[in-house]
Amino acid sequence: MATEEEKPVKPADRIVFLALKGALVATVFLFTPLLTMVLSTIGLSSLAPFLNGLMFPLLFLCFGAMGYGMWQKKMQEKKDSEDE
């Protein structure tokens, strides 16, 4: 059984992956009542009206980080192709 050579994880790939996970978590908390249930369980249900004001900027920040990571990856690929 032949093993494939593992490529090192580049910082741009790591940024895109972490931003995607962050956006996924923010989306789950935005569009489901899960975070409201968690807050009411620990006694902080008075913060529930402010969740949209917190989660939408977090979601947009994650999308921005994902775009930045993809841009970095594209610039690195362009630099690598110019070096060859």
Average pLDDT rounded to a whole number, residues 30-55: 87
pLDDT of residue 67: 94
Tell me which of 84 and 39 has the higher pLDDT.
39
The domain tally of the chain equals: 1
Query: Is residue 76 in a domain?
Result: yes
Q: Which domain holds residue 15?
A: 11-83
The proportion of the chain whose per-residue pLDDT surpasses 70, expressed as a percent, equals: 95
pLDDT of residue 59: 92
pTM, entire model? 0.75
Average pLDDT rounded to a whole number, residues 30-43: 87
Tokens of 67: 């775009």
pLDDT band at 66 (very low <50, low <70, confident <90, very high): very high
Query: Is residue 74 in a domain?
Result: yes
CA distance linking residue 66 with residue 12, whole number of Å: 9
Region class of 14: left (phi > 0), else alpha (psi between -120 and 50), else beta = alpha
User: Roughly how many angstroms between the first and final C-alpha of the chain, as a whole number?
Assistant: 32
Query: Is residue 5 in a domain?
Result: no
Give the torsion sign (CA, 55, 61, 67, 72): negative
Query: Is residue 1 in a domain?
Result: no
